[in-house]
Structure 1
């Protein structure tokens, strides 16, 4: 689990979502806790929308992080594959019906890391940037 060990603990997160289709800028703040389980890490996120049409609504999500041959495999909470990436090239794609989810991670940021999702589909066109800092 040494590859995953650097992510252990609680992270403060700030997410900005630029929804081109809706013409809205949304903001979300919360925490992400990565805790060990028998196969890797459990990613638990909790927070609230602070700006945009969902302001005040709380949200949670859970993923499973697993060591992969050259990086990390991310699974949905029920074990279905979500995406995986190599640390040498921290990017991935997830297809969901007619929607395409492209993610790029940056791990060399001072004091934290970030993910940037570009989501496109018949009813979706947004970019979500999440910055993680040690809590």
Structure 2
């Protein structure tokens, strides 16, 4: 199956593990990710969840938004404020992208081999950052309670 931008549309369960290699702490985020297409063909990604910090026994509400657009190289991802983030080809054998945000470097590897389940693994390094973040997405199905016909 060829994965296209519109294939992401819908509601996904999201589970993220963040392994901070500087502090030795591991945080988790659970929530949802909603992809919705607008009239221009831009896909809006809205993530919402609860970030759990087990070492401190604290939890926080977390959310973020990105915009995805089809382009010649596959899918271009933009920050909420419109700045370019990265481009990836979901149909490449090993989809990946890099983003330099001096002084930090971000590298992502996507895995779509179990579509519609998929994941994104980020490796982030810099003077004050050294972590790996793995997010797994599972499509939510809507149960229809219906009319008997």
Q: Give me the TM-score of the superposition, normalised by structure 1.
A: 0.93
Structure having the larger proportion of residues in strand: 1
Q: State the partner residue of 1:134.
A: 139
Structure 2 unpaired stretches of 5+: 141-149
Structure 1 unpaired stretches of 5+: none
1:1-135 pair list within 5 angstroms:
3-37=4-38, 38-52=40-54, 53=56, 55-87=58-90, 88=92, 89-109=94-114, 111-135=116-140
Task: State which structure, 1 or 2, has the greater radius of gyration over its C-alpha atoms.
Answer: 2
Checking the alignment, whether the CA contact within 8 Å between 1:42 and 1:62 is kept in structure 2 is yes
* Aligned counterparts of 1:23 and 1:124: Cα–Cα separation in 2: 12
Q: Give me the TM-score of the superposition, normalised by structure 2.
A: 0.84
Which ranges of 4 or more aligned residues in structure 1 deviate by more than 6 Å?
Answer: none
Q: CA RMSD in A?
A: 1.5
* Number of matched pairs: 134
**Structure 1 residues 24 and 91 mapped into 2: Cα distance closer, same or farther (>3 Å)?**
same
**Structure 1 residues 54 and 91 mapped into 2: Cα distance closer, same or farther (>3 Å)?**
farther
Paired residue secondary structure (1:108) = coil
